[in-house]
Amino acid sequence: MNIDTADIKAIEEIVATVERTQRAKDAEGFLALFHPDALWTTAHGKVLIGFDAIAEFTRTVLPAASWDGDVTYEAIHIEFLRPDVAAVKIRQIYHATEGDSEGSPLYVMTKQADGTWLLHAGQNTEVRV
């Protein structure tokens, strides 16, 4: 499969935007990254099906999150399942004075007709040491 480096850069930018919006606790910026038919599972196992469920949860939880906002996201592996579908493995670290915690999200992203990439499915898993 011939992969366009512009697609890799666009996917990496989505991951960077996830990081920026999480740090800022910016629910609307985060929600702008989602496909209308997205499904999302949080690190604690809450299943959110469809944009409305994701939005309701995000608008409630993200602004009120108790962590200090210092979080990093890194796309550590991008696997194109088709030219317009990518599985993206993320390394997510929440930095806190009492110690770091890690998540291991998997995003499935889809390329839209206009060339933009959106989060279509996500499964986050807390990494326990």
Q: Provide the residue-wise pLDDT of the chain in tens; the chain has 129 residues.
A: 677 899 999 999 999 999 999 999 999 999 999 999 999 998 889 999 999 999 999 999 998 887 666 889 999 999 999 999 999 999 999 887 778 888 899 999 999 999 999 999 999 988 887
By the 8 A CB rule, do 20 and 29 touch? yes
pLDDT given at position 95: 83
pLDDT given at position 1: 67
pLDDT given at position 127: 86
pLDDT given at position 117: 98
pLDDT given at position 21: 94
Query: Which region, left, alpha or beta, applies to residue 46 given φ > 0 means left and ψ of -120 to 50 means alpha?
Result: beta
The C-alpha atoms of residue 85 and residue 109 are separated, in whole angstroms, by 6
